[in-house]
Amino acid sequence: MVAPVRGQWAHARRMRNPAWIAPLAALDSRSFKVRKTWVTVVGVVLALLGLLWFLQGVGVIGGSFMSGEAVWAVIGLVLLALGGRLLLEALRGNRS
């Protein structure tokens, strides 16, 4: 463990010393699997919610205050794109 550096240039000295990166490199594969699982779950939920809101916004699914309102179609598309991006990242895995 690196001792804390005090003084005016403490940040610069800490950045030159790569020892603070060591805990990040010690992460095991289990933590990456847990992260991948959570990113996948959040991506699926956002994508499904986005699809629902988009379909309500364009009027395909009725019975809600969101039905036929264009703002919900736009919000739904944004959520759908965000959920899709999260799913792509989760499926791609760790390529570093």
In the chain, where are the structural domains located?
28-92
CA distance 50 to 74: 9
Backbone angles phi, psi at 88, to 5 degrees: -65, -45
Tell me the pLDDT tens digit for each residue of 46-64: 999 999 999 999 989 888 8
Instruction: List the structure tokens of 77.
Output: 């598309």
pTM for the model: 0.65
- Burial of 69 from C-beta contacts in 10 A (0-12 / 13-18 / 19+): middle
Across residues 36-40, what is the average pLDDT? 89
Q: pLDDT grade, residue 45 (50/70/90)?
A: very high
Across residues 16-37, what is the average pLDDT? 66
